[in-house]
Every structure is written in C-alpha cells, then in structure tokens.
Amino acid sequence: MPPTLKACTPPPYPMAPSMTPVTRFIRESAEVFTFDLAPERATPFTPGQFNMLYAFGVGEIPISISGAADAPDRLTHTIRAVGPVSAALGRLKAGDQVGLRGPFGVGWPVEEAKGFDVLLIGGGIGLAPLRPAIYWLLRHRAAYGRVGVLYGARTPDDLIFVSELEEWRKTPDFQLRVAVERAGPEWTGDVGYVTPLLSKLRYDPADAIAMICGPEVMIRATALALEDAGIADSRIFVSMERNMKCAIGHCGHCQFGPLFICKDGPVHRYDRVRDLLAYREL
C-alpha cells in the first residue's frame, strides 16, 4: 500500500525547508524541465502528492512529484517555467540545492483503483503529476484491468517525457493516445483536444476509474465527457491547482469553497467538486 500523509510525523517547524541537492537535471522542452532531488531522509509519497520547492532567495512554489513512488530516496519534479520561482528553479544544475518541504496532500487513488480499468488523462504539464500513477500501474500491472492514457499538448514541441511516451506506446496491454492542438505536416498523430480520443480507448465504463490533471477548463470538459461515457462521478478524480503559500492549511490561499486544495486535495473526487467547479471565480 502506498504510504500516506498520516504516516508522517509533522516537523516542528513546518514552514522551514530542508536544503536538498539536485542530482539530475533534464530539459524536457523549451519551457519544461525535470530534476531529481536526493532528500536527506527517505521520503515516501503517494502518486499525486506535491512538495513545496524553494529557490534560494527567490521564493517557493508547490510542485507535484513526477517520479516513481517506489524510490523514496529520489524525488523527481517536472516544472514549467512560468514565473520568477519556476524560472529560477529552471536555472539550476546538478549539485545545486533546492529548499524542500513535503510531501503534502492527498494523491491519486491507486489503491482503490485495483481491479478497475484505469484511465489517466493529462493536459500539458498535467501529465507530470500523473506520471507517478502511471509508473505505479505499470509496476503493479496485474492488479488492474485495462489501462489507458490520454495526453494532450499545445504543439508537438510542447510534449514532455517524449522518449517515455514511445516506450509506453510499445508496452503491451497499455493504451496511449497523444493529441496536440496545433501541428505541422510532420505530425502524424491526433490533432485536437483529448476528449474525443476517449472513444478510442477500450474500457468498461461501469468498472473504470479515471484520473485527470490539466488546466481547469480541460478538467471540466474531460470530466463531463467521462460522465457522458458512463463513468460514475464518484469514480472520477481530478487534481486541482490554486495559489498556495504554506501547503499545511494555514495560509488560506488555496481555498476552493469548503476545501483546502493543499490538504483536502490536490486530488479530489469529482462528485465532491463538480458543483463548485460550475461557479466562476470561486
């Protein structure tokens, strides 16, 4: 069973990061990079959980863990440089240090999904928080039914984990469809959003669990499409993003109606957030 947040003893100074060395740095695309951290102590986590990463003197942001949960001595993060902190993290190299707090929050229901068909649907950088769940399913493949991954990006150049996508494409008993919104003639794959590709996957809607991560508009559209396909709203899980300053339920920034994204999420059961998602600016 994957370790959960409750197994951890909270630190006495929960806002103080541990400076942690970067052991590997990979550029995924023009904007996206991945690095591994080697935490001082083994840091077990559940796929879908996140850490707070601090760039020295610049600031701290929440970043989902994008690596495998069976190697707790390595914490992998995949980040898109969109602001000052993520840009500063993108200038690091192996040997540099990152301030680390975590892991935090509720992850994907990989335990509960055993015996079910599992659909994982990622948009853009949203594939990164899903990757630990994909690794988990591949490692415990026999425990699950059919597995399908849908991944959408803006253009072929924005695709991340490209070599792994190729591996997954060749993996038996593993369905993968990749779509881009815009592409030149060299692109031979699907073009458009991911939702129409749902019909290309083989799964039993009455016996399937879905996990979605991406921009909120994509989450809403995908969840609706899954419901239309016959998957119960209580079997759809979505990972959400909000402004976050503490990750421990104290700063108040990440509230979404009655929920704190940091401790009630980031992964939420869709039937518990569907009505809230319908309101603008909630």
Partner 1 sequence: MAKADEAAAIITVEGLQDLLQAIRAGGYRAIGPTVQNQAIVYDDIESVEDLPRGWTDEQDGGRYRLAKRNDDALFGYSVGPQSWKKFLHAPKLRLWTAERDGETASVTPEPSPTDRLAFIGVRACDIRAIEIQDRVLVGDLYVDPHYKALRERALIVAVNCGQAGGTCFCVSMHAGPRVEQGFDLALTELLDGTEQIFLVETGSDEGRALLAQVPHRLASSREVEAGEAVIEHTASSMGREMRSDDLNELLMSNLEHPRWDEVATRCLSCTNCTLVCPTCFCTSVEDVSDLSGERAERWRRWDSCFTMDFSYIHGGSVRASAKSRYRQWMTHKLATWIDQFGSSGCVGCGRCITWCPVGIDITEEVRAIRGCDTSAGDWP
Closer residue to partner 1 in complex, CB, 235/268: 268
Does residue 93 interact with partner 1 by CB under 8 A? no
Site for partner 1 in 247-276 (CB under 8 A): 248-253, 255, 257-258, 260, 263
Closer residue to partner 1 in complex, CB, 114/245: 245
Does residue 18 interact with partner 1 by CB under 8 A? yes
Distance separating alpha carbons of residues 143 and 115, to the nearest angstrom: 6
Q: Phi and psi (nearest 5°) for 260?
A: -100, 120
Q: Which of 149, 159, 246, 267 binds partner 1 (CB under 8 A)?
A: 246
DSSP string computed for 120-189 = EEEEGGGHHHHHHHHHHHHHTGGGSS-EEEEEEESSGGG--SHHHHHHHHHSTT-EEEEEESS--TT--S
Closer residue to partner 1 in complex, CB, 189/257: 257
Q: How far is the CB of 205 from partner 1 (least distance, A)?
A: 31
Q: Which of 25, 73, 97, 143 binds partner 1 (CB under 8 A)?
A: 97
Spatial CA neighbour of 223 closest among 193, 214, 233: 233
Does residue 56 interact with partner 1 by CB under 8 A? yes
Cβ neighbours of residue 202 closer than 8 Å, sequence gap 6 or more: 146, 148, 175
Count Cβ atoms below 10 Å from residue 180 Cβ, excluding itself: 21
Q: List residues near partner 1 by CB under 8 A.
A: 5-6, 10, 12-19, 54, 56-60, 82-83, 95-97, 99, 241-243, 245-246, 248-253, 255, 257-258, 260, 263, 279-282
